Every structure is written in structure tokens, then in C-alpha cells.
Amino acid sequence: MSDIRHFLTLLDFSPSELTAILHRAIEMKRERNSDQGQQAHLNVLPGAVMGMIFEKSSTRTRVSFESGMAQMGGHAMFLSSTDTQLGRGEPVGDSARVISSMVDIVMIRTFGHDIVEQFAAQSSVPVINALTDDYHPCQLLADMQTWIEQRGSISGKTVCWVGDGNNMCQSYINAARQFDFELRISCPAGFEPSADLLAANSDRVSVVHEPKLAANGADLLVTDVWASMGQESEQAERAKLFAPYIVDEELMSRAASNALYMHCLPAHRGEEISAGLMDSPDTIIWQEAENRLHAQKALVEALLQKS
């Protein structure tokens, strides 16, 4: 199966391939909003079927992949782990062999990153990581598309991650490498991302625990929930520890004068982000969410062209 192309992290594509996907996403968005509208992409992947395996909840990921496949003339099939034999202990590799023999592409949202790796190793079709405990690369495609639409290239800019060193933070580390920006990570002590990932990217990624210092002059501030899916029991304790890490108007005032802020959603107003920023008429957060659709359509098209 080694010649099959997968998208498990941003490192699975070269910087130029990623940029090409983002420019195609911007083009597809424009075409979708043109007179052609609903018909624009019906001939992109006629008859293609995506299997969507969800072991965690989702709104944006499910709706964007399912709509995207329909818009491209294909179909998407929702497979909850509780309703399939995966949830009853059928080995991941066996499931991968069977499911991939019947569909053209698979998307998986799960817990351990090793699960998507095991699935991909036995899959005869491309596999997309739609979020694991370690990475969320599809969200980064949408975030980078949003930046490009607003400001052009992100190369040489400074991004400040505020909050938990989680799957989104670790995806920003990969993005810093692939899209050539500086990343400052501001998290409470003990909530840093993987030490190996930090060490491998120490030329452009640093940890600055004090949020005001980290945000100083940054071009983009990014945050996410303090307790990710699977960490619900830690929510109350984390809320106390992370309180100084709210992205609010005060923290934004430390950033560059035209700085932007992003949040992958779902958000908790008054916790990791202020209600004022979430509900500001100028926020690009809704554009960022919509871009999941366009970026992933371009991603699926690229994976099915190359496989």
C-alpha cells in the first residue's frame, strides 16, 4: 500500500503541494459563489465515495466533508464507531482492508494518532486524518486559506498560539515549518506540546509562557478549547490553570496593529476567547470555519488525482 498518498499530518505534502491545494481551494470557493453555483463541481469526482469514520463528535468536519463530496458529484458515508464493528473490537487493520475495498477515500476522527497510521498502513485508498489526539491538519488547511485570503503569504510572519499544547497547537508547529513562519507558544507550564516536536522545530518555534510577552507584535493569535475531546473530566481544573490565557481585547492590543485572531471552534466565550472577540463584526472566525469546506474539497481532489 506504500504508493497510496495519505494526509495524516501536514508533513505528508510538500510546501508547494500545500500551497497548490490552498490556491485551488480559493478557486473552488470563487466558483461555488459564481453563477455556476451548485453545478460548479459536479464533474470533479462523479461517483466517488468517502467513508467517514467518527470516534469523536463533530459539527464542522462532518458537514464540510459530507457537503464537499456531494458538491463534487460523489457521496459520503457516516460511520460511527458505536454503530460499526470497530466499536466492538474488530482490528483496525481488518476494518481498513474491508472498508477501503468498497470506497475511494476514507476520513477518520479518532483518539490515538497510531489508529490513523494503522488504518492507513492497511488501506488501499487515501486516508485523511480528520483529528486525532495529536494533530488536526484539515483545520490548518482552512486556517492557512483564511490567512491567504486576508493577507497573502504567511511566510515570515509571527503567529502566537495561546492555550493548550494540544492537537491544534502541534499542527501549528508543522504549519510553521511548511509555510515558513515563526510560532510562539504560550501555555501554562506542564501543558507544552511534544518535546520532540519542539526540538525538531526549534529554529522557528519557541515556548513563551507569559501570554502578553508571547503576543507582543504578533501578526496572528490563535486559540482553542482548554480541554479537548477526551479530557472532559479535566475541564474544571484546566479552567482555573488556563484563566490567564484568554484571548481578549487586552491581549490583542499587544499584537501588531492589524493582527488577526482565529479559533477552530467550538468556542467557549469567556474562557479561551472573549465574547467581544467572538461576536465582533470584524471577526474572520466564521470565514475560517466555512473554509473547511473549500480546503477539504481541494484536498480530496488532490488525493484522488495522485493516488
Among 20, 31, 40, 58, binds ligand CP (CB under 6 A): 58
Under the binding rule (CB under 6 A), the answer on residue 263 touching ligand CP is no
23 as an active site residue: the answer is no
36 as an active site residue: the answer is no
| Closer of 50 and 168 to ligand NVA (Cβ) | 168
DSSP 4: S
Whole-angstrom distance, CA of residue 43 vs CA of residue 23: 19
| Closer of 198 and 298 to ligand CP (Cβ) | 298
| Closer of 89 and 190 to ligand NVA (Cβ) | 190
| Interior/surface letters 80-100, b for 16+ CB within 10 angstroms, e for the rest | ebeebebeeeeebeebbeebb
- Cβ-Cβ contacts under 8 Å for 204 (sequence gap 6 or more): 176, 177, 180, 181, 182, 183
Smallest separation (angstroms) from ligand NVA to the CB of 168:
5
Whole-angstrom distance, CA of residue 52 vs CA of residue 103: 10
Would you tell me how many other CB atoms lie within 10 Å of the CB of residue 256?
16
Longest dimension (CA), the chain: 53
264 as an active site residue: the answer is yes
Catalytic residue among 138, 169, 264, 294: 264
| Closer of 198 and 247 to ligand CP (Cβ) | 247
Under the binding rule (CB under 6 A), the answer on residue 113 touching ligand CP is no
Q: Which positions touch ligand NVA (CB under 6 A)?
A: 131, 136, 166-168, 224-225, 228-229, 264
| Closer of 71 and 228 to ligand CP (Cβ) | 228
Smallest separation (angstroms) from ligand CP to the CB of 208:
25
The cell numbers describing 7, all together, are 494526509
Under the binding rule (CB under 6 A), the answer on residue 60 touching ligand CP is yes
Smallest separation (angstroms) from ligand NVA to the CB of 306:
27
- Cβ-Cβ contacts under 8 Å for 10 (sequence gap 6 or more): 18, 135, 137, 140, 171, 174, 175, 177, 178
Q: Which range of residues in 43-51, 53-61, 156-164, 236-244 is near ligand CP by CB under 6 A?
A: 53-61
Among 81, 95, 132, 139, binds ligand CP (CB under 6 A): 139
Under the binding rule (CB under 6 A), the answer on residue 231 touching ligand CP is no
Catalytic residue among 133, 184, 224, 296: 224
Q: What is the layout of strands, in order, in the sheet containing 260-263?
A: 205-207, 182-186, 158-162, 220-223, 260-263
Smallest separation (angstroms) from ligand NVA to the CB of 97:
28
The cell numbers describing 210, all together, are 507569559
109 as an active site residue: the answer is yes
Whole-angstrom distance, CA of residue 67 vs CA of residue 65: 6
- Is residue 145 within 8 A of residue 28, CB to CB? The reply is no
Known catalytic residues are 109, 136, 139, 224, 264, 292
Rule CB under 6 A: which residues touch ligand CP?
58-61, 131, 139, 264-265
